Amino acid sequence: MSVEGKTVMITGASRGIGAATARIFAQAGAKVVLLARSADQIEALAAELGDSALAIACDVSDWQAMQAAVAETCVKMGGLDILINNAGVIEPIADLSESDPEAWGRAIDINLKGVYYGMRSAMPVMEAAGGGTIITISSGAAHHALEGWSHYCTSKAGAAMLTEAANLEGAEKGLRVMGLSPGTVATDMQHRIKDSGINPVSELDWSEHIPPEWPARALLWMCGPEADGWLGQEISLRDPQIRKEAGLK
C-alpha cells in the first residue's frame, strides 16, 4: 500500500512525533490533516507542507470537536484513510497519594478518551469506504507501572486494550488496527520527565532517546502490507528486528 494521495489524520500534530509524522507522510505523497489544540503551530506546519495539508484546531478530549474534525476532513479531503492517535500528555507527574484528581482525570480524558473519540469518529467512515488504518501511539508504560505515572500508565493500558478491541471488531470490515510503542523519544515530554526526577526514566541520558523521525518512519511502514503480521498487536521499536524491517538504523 502506498500512501500517495491517501488522507492521514494525525492528532497531537503540533510538535514531537506528531509533527515529524506529518512531514514524513507529506513527503510520501499523503494528504495530511493536523489536529492539535495549538492552532498557531499546526497552521504554521500546514503552511510549510503546502496545499496537501489541512490544520484543524481540536481538543481530542472533546467528543463533538473530534466528530467535527473528521467531518471537515471528509468534506475537504474527500475521505479519511489513516488515523494516527498520537496526542498525549505526561502531566501531572506525582505520587498517586498526592495527585490532583482533576488533573489526573484530564490526562485520562486526553490519553484514553481522546483515543476512543478518534476511533469512534473514524471507524464508521472507514468501514463505509471499505477499509482504513488506525494506529495508536502506545508506551512501555501500558504494561509496566512506574512511580509518579499512575495516570499515564493507566491511560496507555486502556488505549492498548482499545486497540485490541478495535481490531477485533473492525478487521472483517477492512480495518487495519495496531499500536506502536516507540520507546523513549527525544521530545519536549522527555524534558518534563527529566525535570520531575521521578522514576528511572527521568535518569536517562538524552543520548539514549531516539529521534522523533524514527517512530514517524515506522508509522509509514506500518501503513503497508509488510506490517500486516502485527494487526491487532503492539509493535515495539525497542525490537532490533522491527527497526530493521522498518528501515531504521
The CATH number of residue 50's host domain is 3.40.50.720
Cβ neighbours for 49, distance < 8 A, ≥ 6 positions apart: 22, 23, 26, 32
At residue 206 the predicted structure's pLDDT band, cuts being 50, 70 and 90, is confident
Lowest mean pLDDT among 14-18, 23-27, 87-91, 195-199: 195-199
The answer to the question of residue 249 being in a domain is no
- Whole-angstrom distance, CA of residue 93 vs CA of residue 170: 35
Query: Among positive and negative, which fits the CA dihedral 194, 100, 144, 246?
Result: negative
The answer to the question of residue 247 being in a domain is no
The SS3 of residue 89 is coil
For residue 107, with 0-12 CB atoms within 10 Å meaning exposed, 13-18 middle and 19 or more buried, which class applies? buried
Helix (H) or strand (E) holding 96: none
Question: What is the pLDDT, as a whole number, of residue 177?
Answer: 98
The answer to the question of residue 52 being in a domain is yes
Cβ neighbours for 161, distance < 8 A, ≥ 6 positions apart: none
- Whole-angstrom distance, CA of residue 77 vs CA of residue 234: 29
Domain enclosing residue 18, as ranges: 7-242
Give the whole-number percent of the chain exceeding pLDDT 70.
99
The answer to the question of residue 248 being in a domain is no
Task: Give pLDDT tens digits for 167-195.
Answer: 999 999 999 999 999 977 777 787 788 88
Lowest mean pLDDT among 124-128, 193-197, 215-219: 193-197
Beta bridge partners of 9: 33, 83
DSSP summary character for residue 187: S
Q: Span 11-21, mean pLDDT?
A: 95
Q: Is 116 among the catalytic positions?
A: no
The answer to the question of residue 102 being in a domain is yes
Q: Which grid coordinates belong to 239?
A: 525490537
Give alpha helix (H) positions in the chain: 16-27, 39-49, 63-77, 101-108, 114-129, 150-170, 188-196, 213-222, 240-245
Q: What is the mean pLDDT of the chain?
A: 93
The answer to the question of residue 82 being in a domain is yes
Catalytic residue among 25, 116, 149, 152: 152
The answer to the question of residue 2 being in a domain is no
Structurally, the chain folds into a number of domains equal to: 1
Give per-residue burial for 4-24: e unless 16+ CB within 10 Å, then b.
Answer: eebbbbbbbbbbbbbbbbbbb
The answer to the question of residue 84 being in a domain is yes
At residue 200 the predicted structure's pLDDT band, cuts being 50, 70 and 90, is confident
Give per-residue burial for 207-223: e unless 16+ CB within 10 Å, then b.
Answer: eebbebbbbbbbbbbbb
Give alpha helix (H) positions in 14-99: 16-27, 39-49, 63-77
| Residue length of the chain | 249
Give the whole-number percent of the chain exceeding pLDDT 90.
79
What strands, in cross-sheet order, belong to the sheet with 53-57?
Answer: 53-57, 31-36, 7-11, 82-85, 132-137, 175-181, 234-236
